[in-house]
Structure 1
Amino acid sequence: MRNVGAKLPTFKILLLSFQFSLSVQRIGCSLISSSSYICLFGTKRFSVSTTPSYNYWLSLHLRNGRINEARSFFDDISSPGVNLYTMMIAGYAEKGRLEDALKLFYEMPVKDLVSWNSMLKGCLKCGDLSMAWNVFDKMPQRNVISWTTIIDGLLEFGRVEVAERFFWEMPTRDVAAWNSMVHGYFSNGRVEDAVELFEKMPFRNVISWTSVIGGLDQNGRSYEALLVFQKMLASFIKPTSSTLACALTACANIRTFVIGVQIHGLIVKTGHCFDEYIAASLITFYANCKLIQNAFDIFNEDLRRNVAVWTALLTGYGLNCKHDDALRVFKGMMRMCVLPNQSSLTSALNSCCGLEAVDRGREVHSVAYKLGLENDIFVGNSLVVMYTKCGQIRDGVAVFTRMSRKNVVSWNSIIVGCAQHGFGMWALTLFAQMIRSRGDPDEITLIGLLSACSHSGLLTKGRYGELDEAEALIHTMPIKANYTVWLALLSSCSKHSNVDVGERAAKCVLELQPSCSAAYTLLSNLYASNGKWTEVSKIRKKMKDEGILKQPGSSWITVKGIRHDFLSGDRLHPSSRKIYQKLEWLRGKLKELGYVPDPKFSLHDVESEQKEEMLSTHSERLAIGFGLISTVEGSTITVMKNLRICGDCHNAIKLIAKVVGREIVIRDSSRFHHFRNGACSCGDYW
């Protein structure tokens, strides 16, 4: 290769470099390789004294994530200055390569305060607080940036007391240091300390006010946040877009529509209406206030939609139970090449969960996998919940197992999921793993474990069927039981046919919630299962006189993305004829296996033949029949039901699963049932 650089005067080399850099920017090329530099400047190692554009080229490599090319370029410079060393160290830290950063740092012939501060920040960025502390201790001199950086790191790692000590030991404190301490207090839940320090500040800027507004809101004190915002305006402090976004978020959280609209007006007056994060906050505010059309109008007005704006609308639709619209927004993001982030994926998965659409959930899972976000803790938790609530407990466990980092929400999600599916031993095993990994169980963990025991018949681990003891426990509770507690007891009485306790439980429910249709229905069913038809008639008459409507039993199944709903005895479905043919065929097969319908589960005072006919056309059986004629052989059939599955259907479906050689999953109002080979995962406890 011809050594061009050796034969050109220095000013021509500079000119060539400058012209080339302009051409690179004009054609949109992000960077050039090390060999390109050699073509331009020859094989001679570069010298700081001859080419001042090294900052530009090194920065260009680092901005584009080409850390190895940046290091190759850096090594070709004969005498790199402190600033180039500092840039390279910061680049390594940005990529998480702390060892390389430290090695280069200690190789520096001369270190200034900027390079020490950069190394300190790099250690914290890589998550190594102890190394950062070590660098801080070795610093020959420190300025306010040094102190503020280590304080930020200590606060980020929850070392609040040490951060406090460092803060008050600082020789001088500027407004940034005060702001960092205030923000750190809020981040660690020390709200009163944060407010007290804010009041002590000798001087404040707009960042100080914004930190307090946002911190109060994030700690559940949104009304106080708005009072601080009002005080800020009264102090003639001009809000930034961040301030306005925080105030809007506070309005959204407590749904203060009037104040939110006033802030919207202020946004228009101050010219912040085209800020993308303000647009996202406005969308969230209107969505939380159940004005989703207003949110959509804001979305349409924003011409430079970033991921925050798309995610705000996606989440807003989900909050308003418009899950189909939410998933259309998610697909729109992908079509417009806007890559979803963790929040986008979490909201999309929540909508899949709301629709009980596991196939669409798998599509979102695929996107998360391709983006490398499958193991993100928030996405992972949402995937676990989506799979478990859509009946796919094994997929939920698989996702949980692959998660590299887990928090208490992760453990609770999988433990509760296993409980809902009747896999009590799985739940107990996972709890043991949680304790071994030093997880911190909370009340949700314990409720999940008790639920797992009750749903799996683990009498040595929990309690089951002890209704008199349960009633006594409710009476001795330190706080007065609400109607849901008594309703749970009534539901158990219905399951165990305990009329005496059930009557007392129903009385307590109706004293607290006179129009509770579930209490009337459960008590009516309890009487019907015990043949007390006179009492059933009295309850039905009372419900009619008081205008209390019984929730009709329904079941639904999703096939090829379309939901199909069924009521008991339903003949309105387009495939009814084929469904009833399949059910009639199944009746014959079940009788061959010795199945006899249990008339006590027919809650109507009719002849035996009519009872058998009514039982055989319960809504869940119709949904199963449709699943059998609409899906491929061997695939799992998943049916959702709004009420508790009756005992006769439970017995019949165990045998149906055996006859057709498929797994049938039924989710009723209590739990999931996995029917396989003539048995159910609940072990007949539900």
Structure 2
Amino acid sequence: MWTLRAAIRNRISFSFTTSQSTSPSYNYYKQLLTHHVFNQNLEKARNLFDQIPSPHISLYTIMLTAFAHHHRLPEALLLFHQIPIKDLVSWNCIIKGCFHCGDFVTARKLFDEMPHRNVVSWTTMVDGFLRLGRVDDAERLFFEMPGKDVAAWNAMIHGYCGNGRVDDALRLFREMPSRDVISWTSMISGLDQNGRSDEALFLFGEMVGYGVTPTVTSLVCGLAAAAKVSALCVGIQIHCCVFKMGYSCFDEFVSSSLVTFYANCKQMENAHKVFHEIIQKNVVVWTALITGYGLNGKHREALEVFGEMVRMSVFPNESSFTSALNSCCGLEDLERGKGIHAAVIKIGLDTGVYVGSSLVVMYSKCGYIGDAMSAFKRICDKSIVSWNSVIVGCAQHGCGRWALTFFSQMLREGVNPDEITLTGLLSACSHSGMLQKARCFFRYFSQRRSITLTIEHYACMADVLGRCGELEEAEALVMTMPMKPDSTVWLVLLSACRMHSNFDVAERAAKKILEIEPGCSAAYILLSNLYASLSRWDEVARLRTAMKHNGVVKQPGSSWLTLKGLRHEFLSADRSHPLTDQIYQKLDWLGGKLKELGYVPDQQFALHDVEIEQKEEMLSYHSERLAIAFGLLRTVDGSTITVMKNLRVCGDCHNAIKLMAKIVDREIIVRDTSRFHHFKNGICSCGDYW
């Protein structure tokens, strides 16, 4: 990576033979000019330069480097042409500056005009073309280059890898007449970054076998590859090498890589041990531990480490905040997330793409899509991750029109959609009943070469068709998929059959599921519920007997809400909570108010063959109602209550919660496995379509 400081240092360290380069005036001007450039005072530097009588060529080069670094190429070129006698360093410097500013045409023109070239000149051209993605141009120059040195070969290998041409890089690597540790490291890193981590680890072992001593960068690349494929044994061997070379306690990059490696291998105790052995912990190391805990689902521990880092006066960076927000999202802890958001705003990081996208995800997953969209609008340079976050968030909340609007804006901004975009769009269409839009999207994306349709996309399209009642078409889609459908795809179809009471398709779908996954409780339950909804109790009993015989256990329905960082969970008819009496009193009071509004329990959702009174009682104490009653007891009047549920909310509870929201004059948000429901003033955001 070409930096201003490095370029100037190289120029200053150049050995001058003229008397001017060793004169007191030269040293004075050089130091003062360098001082201005390092402090980015280019105008002062230029004014000083103009006052120097007959400036030495090295001072010209310092100014050339500074102008190019700040993308002031016309001034750099003008100054270059004013140099009385140009040397190779100045030629190479201006060519590198042209590439840095993206002007490869001028770079090539200057290269052709050079009276003499050295291997640095050729390598500068090759590296410049590669950095701009012009691989063919770089390739032609490389093979024309006379007397290639190791640096030239390394530049080409690094460029091939950076542009996704790993096989070409590997071929060139094997053809090299001699290799140094940079050659090996570039190839290892290139393989790892292009999804070939197993090969990267094999090459790392080969490097060590040839007696090449790894550098810090080599070790970090090896650990990164081991982390991606969870190669615990190989990673431990690299750790031993790190320990022998004395890097583990002192080098921040090696230390953070070790923490990340053990976290990826689900070895959080070892990750924590490595963390505590580090003598000086900087923000990179702290962030690696926070991210590691989050990766292993230990979100509470991740936030504790984040808090400890702040207390130790280690200033969080964008990655730290991103990891902390992801853990808030994992805990559905909106209050903690808002606190972190406030800190992010104070230091001005909320407009960054990573923190901003994490805020979008956090707010949308905690039930606040309006705040998610506000966070999205504040992001300055929106990436595909940002757009996908807001599109998927809108889909989860049933804001299909908004999802399509954001998609249109994304295309106008010139951002190319990917596979996640399609998943979000199909999900948005599914929850909003936009069948024709979904068909158009599915057809359009299937024709794009840059996107490969996955089994998830087919499941989403089958879901759209199924929800809209097109069960035969959905079944035909599943049967003609280019890949073998898994149990998830058939479960989507079975769920739609439950919704539309289609026995024939349901039984075929259930049969397919149980062939693939004999212990799938969801298949038994969905089919059983379909029979129960039409009072076919013999079939229900048969399925329950089969479940018992096969050892299949039904997942109990549960609902929870998070208040002041604590999660309160409820099962249906649960009486284990310390506030059980008050919760049931609140539900009885709500039951009376519901009857005054004309509510009558829908007994088709009481999925047991019992008396009417028992059915009504069973419906009244579903887990989401208990959670709502608790929320009413423990939150301020008028505030929003957000409840999460592990199963699909039943139709009777859906009707009841609409009226509850009206009775208590509050917004009640319920997230089930399908989507978010926003209940307010007697209506639901889903429009009774979910």
1:621 matches 2:621? no
Query: Within 2, Cα distance between the matches of 1:307 and 1:86?
Result: 36
The aligned amino acid for 1:573 is: H
Partner of 1:509: 513
Match of 1:450 among 420, 426, 430: 426
- C-alpha distance in 1 between matches for 2:299 and 2:358: 15
The 1:489–1:107 alpha-carbon spacing in structure 2 relative to 1, beyond 3 Å, is: same
Partner of 1:154: 129
The change in CA–CA distance for 1:314 and 1:94 in structure 2 (over 3 A counts) is farther
Deviation at residue 216 of structure 1 after TM alignment: 1.0
CA distance in 2, matches of 1:404, 1:539: 55
C-alpha distance in 1 between matches for 2:71 and 2:316: 23
- Work out the CA distance in 2 between the residues paired with 1:367 and 1:95: 32
Kept after mapping to 2: 8 A contact 1:381/1:409? yes
> 8 Å contact 1:352–1:361 — kept in the other structure?
yes
Shift of 1:86: 3.6
The answer to whether residue 675 in structure 2 is matched with residue 671 in structure 1 is yes
Q: Give 1:560 deviation, angstroms.
A: 1.9
Match of 1:223 among 190, 194, 198: 198
Secondary structure at the residue paired with 2:319? helix
Q: Which residue of 2 aligns with 1:41?
A: none
C-alpha distance 571-55 of structure 1, shift in aligned 2 (>3 A): farther
Does 2:390 correspond to 1:414?
yes
Counterpart position of 1:213: 188
Q: Aligned with 2:437: secondary structure?
A: coil
Match of 1:461 in 2: 437
Work out the CA distance in 1 between the residues paired with 2:253 and 2:123. Answer: 27
Q: Does residue 335 of the first structure (1) align with residue 339 of the second (2)?
A: no
Is residue 48–residue 79 contact of structure 1 (8 Å, CA) maintained in 2? no
Q: Is 2:364 the counterpart of 1:382?
A: no
SS at match of 1:259: helix
Post-superposition shift, 1:442? 3.0
Shift of 1:640: 1.0
- Match of 2:435, SS state, is coil
Deviation at 1:303, TM superposition (A): 0.6
Question: Which residue identity does 2:508 align to in structure 1?
Answer: R
- Superposed CA deviations along residues 223-274 of structure 1, whole A, max 9, x for unmatched, are 2112211221222211111111111222221122222222222222233333
Q: CA deviation at 1:501?
A: 1.9
For 1:498-647, what aligned pairs fall within 5 Å after superposition? 498-647=502-651
Quote the offset at 1:322 in angstroms. 0.9
Matched, 1:425 2:401: yes
Q: Which residue of 1 aligns with 2:237?
A: 262
* Secondary structure, counterpart of 1:461 in structure 2: helix
Mapped to 2, the partners of 1:601 and 1:97 lie a distance apart of 71
Distance change in 2, residues 1:113/1:673 (3 Å): farther
Matched AA of 1:299: F
Q: 1:440 to 1:479 in 2, by over 3 A?
A: same
Aligned-partner Cα distance in 2 for 1:173–1:510: 63
1:388 Cα deviation after fit: 2.0
Question: Once the 2 structures are TM-superposed, how far is the Cα of residue 181 of structure 1 from its aligned partner?
Answer: 1.2
Which segment is superposed worse, 488-497 or 579-588? 579-588
TM-score (norm 1): 0.86
Counterpart CA distance in 1 for 2:127 and 2:344 is: 31
Shift in Å at residue 503 of structure 1?
1.9
Residue 460 of structure 1 aligns to a residue in which SS?
A: helix
Please, which moves more after superposition, 549-558 or 455-464? 455-464
- Asked if residue 436 in structure 1 is aligned to residue 412 in structure 2, the reply is yes
Deviation at 1:65, TM superposition (A): 5.5
Give the letter for the 2:236 counterpart.
V
1:454–1:685: 8 Å Cα contact kept in structure 2? no
Q: Which range moves more in the overlay, 150-159 or 519-528?
A: 150-159
RMSD: 2.8
Is 2:348 the partner of 1:348?
A: no
My pick for the range that moved more, 120-129 or 262-271, is: 120-129
Change (3 A) 1:145 1:393: farther
Matched, 1:176 2:180: no
> Given that residues 351 and 380 in structure 2 are in contact (C-alpha distance below 8 angstroms), is that contact kept between their aligned partners in structure 1?
yes
SS at 1:158's partner residue? coil
Q: Structure 1 regions of 5+ residues with no counterpart? A: 1-46
Task: Check the 8 A contact 1:457/1:683 in 2, yes or no.
Answer: no
Deviation (angstroms), 1:68: 6.3
Return the alpha-carbon distance in structure 1 between the equivalents of residues 79 and 590 of structure 2.
75
Check if 1:660 corresponds to 2:664: yes
Name the structure 1 match of 2:460: none
The alignment of Structure 1 onto Structure 2 pairs a total of residues equal to 640
Could you tell me which residue of structure 1 aligns to residue 334 of structure 2? 358
What SS does the corresponding residue of 1:312 show, helix, strand or coil? Answer: helix
Q: CA separation in 2, counterparts of 1:88 and 1:361? A: 47
Alpha-carbon offset, residue 647 of structure 1? 0.8
Deviation per CA, 1:408-464, whole angstroms, max 9, x where unpaired? 333332222211111111122222223333332333322322221111122332431
Assess if the C-alpha contact under 8 Å between 2:361 and 2:393 holds in 1.
yes
Summarize the Cα distance change of 1:451–1:404 in structure 2 as closer, same or farther, 3 Å threshold: same
1:392 Cα deviation from its structure 2 partner: 2.0
Query: Quick check: 1:319 aligned with 2:323?
Result: no
Quick one: which of 471, 477, 491 aligns to 2:475?
471
Contact 2:388/2:420 (8 A) holds in 1: yes
- Partners of 1:188 and 1:546 lie apart in 2 by 53
Partners of 2:74 and 2:664 lie apart in 1 by: 60
Give SS of 1:52's match. helix
Q: 1:405 corresponds to which residue? A: 381
Change (3 A) 1:665 1:209: same
Alignment partner of 1:83 is 2:55: no
1:275 to 248, 251, 263: 251
- Do the aligned partners of 2:259 and 2:288 also contact (CA within 8 Å) in 1? yes
The one-letter amino acid of 1:195's match is L
Give the 3-state SS of the residue equivalent to 2:570 in structure 1: strand
- CA shift at 1:152, angstroms? 2.8
Residue matched to 2:655? 651
Q: Which moved more, 1:171-180 or 1:129-138?
A: 129-138
Distance in 2, matches of 1:504 and 1:289, equals 40
Partners of 2:350 and 2:378 within 8 A in 1: no
Change (3 A) 1:292 1:130: farther
Alpha-carbon distance change, 424 to 357 in structure 1, aligned in 2, over 3 angstroms: same
- Larger deviation, residues 397-406 vs 203-212: 397-406
1:62 deviates by: 4.5
Aligned partner of 2:688 in structure 1 is 684
Q: Percent identity between the aligned chains?
A: 61
CA contact (8 A) 2:341 2:359 kept: yes
CA gap of 1:602–1:100, structure 2 versus 1, over 3 A, is farther
Superposition deviation, residue 212 in structure 1: 0.8
Shift of residue 84 of structure 1?
3.9
Distance 1:74 1:428 in 2: 56
C-alpha spacing 1:518/1:262, structure 2 compared with 1 (3 Å): same
Relative to structure 1, the CA distance from residue 294 to residue 587 in structure 2 (aligned partners, 3 Å threshold; closer, same or farther) is same
State the AA in 2 paired with 1:624.
I
Provide structure 2 residue ranges, at least 5 long, that are not aligned to the other structure.
Answer: 1-21, 439-464
2-structure distance, mates of 1:382, 1:126: 32
Per-residue CA shift, 1:383-417, capped at 9, x if unaligned?
Answer: 32222222222222223333333333333322222
> 314-323 or 120-129, which moves further after superposition?
120-129
What secondary structure sits across from 1:239 in the alignment? coil
| Alpha-carbon contact 1:244-1:278 (below 8 Å) kept | yes
The answer to whether residue 489 in structure 2 is matched with residue 491 in structure 1 is: no
Query: How far apart in 2 are the matches of 1:71 and 1:653?
Result: 71
Which amino acid counterpart does residue 269 of structure 1 have in structure 2? K
SS in 2 for 1:551: coil
Q: Report if aligned partners of 1:185, 1:191 keep a CA contact under 8 Å in 2.
A: yes
In structure 1, how many angstroms separate the alpha carbons of the residues matched to 2:101 and 2:299?
38
Deviations along 1:10-63, one digit per CA (max 9) or x if unpaired, are xxxxxxxxxxxxxxxxxxxxxxxxxxxxxxxxxxxxx98447244445444554
